[in-house]
Amino acid sequence: MPKSLEHSATSWKGQQLKHKPSLIDQLDPRLRVVTAALFAFFIVLSDQLSVLIIGLITAFALAILARLNLKRTLRRVIAMDLFIVGLLIMLPFTTPGTELFSIMGLSASQEGLLHAIMIGLKANASVLCLLSLIGTMNATLLGHTLAHLKVPDKLVHLLLFTVRYLDVIGQEFKRMRRAMQARAFVMGTNWHTWRSVGYLIGMLLVRSLERSERIMAAMKCRGFKGRFYLLDQMTLTRLDYQAAAVAALWFALLAGLSI
């Protein structure tokens, strides 16, 4: 069952992306992961407003190249912005510097406002880049890509097993929840409800542990020795080299502007 990373925050089951094939999909997955990591590295560490604006414009261009659903993507970016909006509102009033304006005796500084704007630009550029380059990958493909990039096996296994069994745990939770409803349990705000929910979570953990032990025993019976053997061979194409050259020039430009 394919797991789409773009939908991993909205459904345990994963959903089939309404994503049309694009130029980004033709690139080697290793190149996409490395480019996204370097992009985030350059953007987050930069303190130049011009670099951040260029980064945000580039991230939008990548989203268009990836042929993302713009309405769905903007909805996710706005959800992320709402998460940090409190911090951005408080920064102008908590950062010392040149007074810009005052509200009810609280002074907002120019430096604080600039800092808040830079944080917003960094967050939006990084998220858009990740959605464009990595968010359209199949989660299994991402796991194999990380393995090819020599990421520790335990982290790769954790990702692949999490993707595989989140839906199984979700189905187990639904069965237990239906069993509670069949016994006339009604969710409320009393001590009985909290105790019942605690029992539900506890039993879910216990059953997950028992299932993991059975899965491990079954894998050992099939010769599992702590590693997966990668049968897919990833090779760089001419398009990958061209994209790598463009990315290198772009990173060189950012480095030059940051000096």
Average pLDDT over the chain reads 82
Lowest mean pLDDT among 5-19, 50-64, 152-166: 5-19
State the average pLDDT over residues 164-174.
87
- What pLDDT shows up at residue 36? 92
- What pLDDT shows up at residue 1? 36
In whole angstroms, what is the distance from residue 159 CA to residue 177 CA?
A: 27
Packed helices 139-148 and 153-182: angle between N→C axes, nearest 10 degrees: 160
- What pLDDT shows up at residue 148? 87
More confident residue, 91 or 237: 237
- What pLDDT shows up at residue 201? 92
Q: What are phi and psi of 107, to 5 degrees?
A: -95, 135
Residue 18: pLDDT band with limits 50, 70, 90: low
- What pLDDT shows up at residue 32? 92
**Are 47 and 111 a contacting pair, CB within 8 Å?**
no
- What's the sign of the alpha-carbon dihedral 200, 167, 148, 254? negative
Residue 5, pLDDT > 60, answer no
Lowest mean pLDDT among 1-15, 98-112, 126-140: 1-15
More confident residue, 165 or 11: 165
State the average pLDDT over residues 152-171.
85
- What pLDDT shows up at residue 141? 83
Residue 19: pLDDT band with limits 50, 70, 90: low
**Closest alpha carbon to 15 in 169, 136, 173:** 136
pLDDT 10s digits, 80-131: 888 777 777 777 777 777 777 777 767 777 777 788 888 888 888 999 999 8
The model's pTM is 0.74
DSSP conformation class of 4: B
**Closest alpha carbon to 8 in 135, 104, 94, 123:** 135
Residue 143, pLDDT > 80, answer yes
State the average pLDDT over residues 38-59.
88
pLDDT 10s digits, 195-223: 999 999 999 999 989 988 998 899 889 88
Residue 244, pLDDT > 50, answer yes
